[in-house]
Amino acid sequence: MATQKHSPAIKGAKVLMVGAGGIGCELLKTLALSGFQDIHIIDMDTIEVSNLNRQFLFRQSHVGQSKAKVARDAVLKFRPHISITPYHANVKDPDFNVDFFKQFNVVLNGLDNLDARRHVNRLCLAADVPLIESGTTGFLGQVTVHVKGITECYECQPKPAPKTYPVCTITSTPSKFVHCIVWAKELLFAKLFGDKSQANDLNVRSSDGASSSEQAEDVFEHSKDEDIEQYGRRIYDHVFGYNIEVALSNEETWKNRNRPKPIYSRDAMPNDVSQQNGNVEKNGATNDPSLVSAMVSLGLKNPQDVWSLMENSRVFLEALKLFFMKRGKEIGNMIFDKDDQLAVEFVTAAANIRATAFGIPLHSLFEAKGIAGNIVHAVATTNAIIAGLIVIETVKVLQNDAKNYRMTYCLEHPTRKMLLMPVEPFEPNKSCYVCSETPLLLEINTNRAKLRDIVEKIVKNKLGMNSPLIMHGAALLYEVGDDLDEAMIKNYAANLDKVLSEFPSPVTSGTMLTIEDLQQELKCNINIKHREEFDEEKEPDGMVLSGWTQATSVVKEDKKSNANVGSTSSASELETDKNNEIETAPGKKRKLSDVSEADTSSVAGDTKSHGKFEVLDDDDDDVVMLNDWGSAANKKLRSQ
């Protein structure tokens, strides 16, 4: 419970929570027990069975119901006299605009994705409402304070892009199991079961087709009268046999690499084995696609077993058969989902067969699911710790106690004998395009690129704008909105396919574009710089956006220590090395003179080489991106 000293600030506060998942459940409980009287919650999700091991306000009977509404009802049972208003909705809905945010004294985020976090950050800035961010992943967690004009906003430092891999590595020269997972999930699964109109980098022509015609028949096409077992073996032989033989034909590629070994179904699984491959009837007469399983058909029970090549081959063929026999209506519209058991089985088997061909160690279904779904399992205790820290910072914000704001990090291993690492906030980054409106620079080939490239790759993907408006001087190039008439919609759609330099007012080197999002009340300028060529591997978008610079510390009293203390909203990483020792930046709650000289030297050295750190979010379902899945001990946390 809150002390009497804090009671007036707490009881009179109107608080908005965004997210009612792992952190949100703990936070709502702690707010209620701390004396808060008026709490609003926004969450668009419904309760799933997988939530029940850590989101303690929910029960089995609540599965399928709104998280926000059930959380409200659960807390009112032990705090019946407070007001809790739930919204089963997306925080990006137009109803939750700047005016909506202005009614609150503080906003508390417990989100699980970058896009929504940036959206809330911008609305809080526009409404001039303090924001307290949070996130957890496994044993790691963070709470950061963002107050307009006093501390960094959430976007004062750029967040790193998701880990990507060159297409040539995925399709031709995989060296890690994660490469095989990406191939199985993004290429093979998508080709077989996803949108047929989407481009795909898999070689789809057979040896006959390759020698005959550009219009050769797609190997992946399944005719209605073709036996599904025969079709499965044809796909198997093509992707694990023929395609690898094609890759081997380029001798230059394998001069300094281990040569892969093509695998054909006849070698991995003799006919007498394939003929007894699975019993579809073991799946019963279920109408629930999520209950269909190749493992059930084949009698495989333990997801932590590492299957042999023969077992992987049987699972591959059985899963493919089940998709066509039990889930045929979905084929053509499927997207990989880590909670889809059959999809995970198929991707695991395909990745393991490919790994075998390239001499890469095999993984269990449990491990493969973690890689494919970018999963680090949530820890309920971390959520509870972070929720408590959020409430502590909330009280400080409500009392305008700026000198005692702390951004606190929860660590897995002690650093300077601390598991909770407090860091003083940093002042706003004067080069931040969100809170300081500093122009950005976009290098792009203005003679080839179209306006669509800027809208999709820069404005929506990198800048996170939902309803953008783009202007070149007084000329309106692009706009979206419900109030546009049909002629305007057609005009803006036509503009998307125009080359930048071919507009009536050409967009060329030296042009400044003004980008605005009316919902977020965000406006920024982009200076255009023409550039002819880009590195396809390092700059796959064919354009480069820049304009961020490092923020300086707001802490004044100890310049020597601050030289090595990084911005708390930066994009650097916590790295666990082979000895499981976490390297991290120093906190700043007590004076560095209180710490031994050896500790200070060690931490400062780590900071110089690794910079700042920020833990990824995890409001809900165990989401984190690891750069190197090859070793569980050598992992990096990507911040968002």
* Residues identified as active-site: 168
Number of Cβ atoms within 10 Å of the Cβ of 166: 14
In degrees, rounded to 5, the angle at the alpha carbon of residue 460 between the alpha carbons of residues 459 and 463 is: 60
Q: Which helix (H) or strand (E) holds 408?
A: strand 407-415
User: What is the DSSP code (8-state) at residue 285?
Assistant: T
CA neighbours closer than 13 Å in the CB half-sphere of residue 502: 11
Q: How far apart (Å, rounded) are the C-alpha atoms in residues 78 and 447?
A: 65
321, 381 in Cβ contact below 8 A?
no
310, 152 in Cβ contact below 8 A?
no
Q: How far apart (Å, rounded) are the C-alpha atoms in residues 408 and 589?
A: 10
319, 346 in Cβ contact below 8 A?
yes
CA neighbours closer than 13 Å in the CB half-sphere of residue 250: 11
505, 475 in Cβ contact below 8 A?
yes
Binding-site residue ranges for Zn(2+) = 153, 156, 432, 435
Q: 26-45 burial, b if ≥16 CB within 10 A, otherwise e?
A: bbbbbbbebbbbbbbbbbbb
Joined together, the tokens standing for residue 97 give 């605009």
Q: What residues form DSSP beta bridges with 66?
A: 46
* Residue type present at position 569: S
Q: Which residues contact 428 (CB under 8 A, 6 or more apart)?
A: 149, 150, 151, 152, 153, 156, 435, 436, 551
Strand pairing category for 543-546 and 440-444: antiparallel
**Helices (DSSP H) in 432-503: which residue ranges?**
451-453, 486-496
Q: How far apart (Å, rounded) are the C-alpha atoms in residues 183 and 171?
A: 7
123, 96 in Cβ contact below 8 A?
yes
Q: First CA to last CA across the chain, in angstroms?
A: 32
> In sequence order, what DSSP letters do the residues of 134-167 get, joined into one string?
EEEETTEEEEEEE-TTTS--TTSSPPPPPP---H
Binding-site residue ranges for ATP = 19-24, 43, 51-54, 67, 112-117
C-alpha distances (whole Å) from 542 to each of 205, 313, 450 are 29, 39, 11
Look at residues 262, 562, 629, 623 and name the one whose alpha carbon lies nearest to residue 426.
562
In degrees, rounded to 5, the angle at the alpha carbon of residue 331 between the alpha carbons of residues 330 and 332 is: 110
DSSP-based three-state secondary structure for 369: helix
Total residues found in the chain within this entry: 640
* Residue type present at position 419: L
Q: How far apart (Å, rounded) are the C-alpha atoms in residues 584 and 575?
A: 8
Q: Is 529 left (phi over 0), alpha (psi -120 to 50) or beta?
A: beta
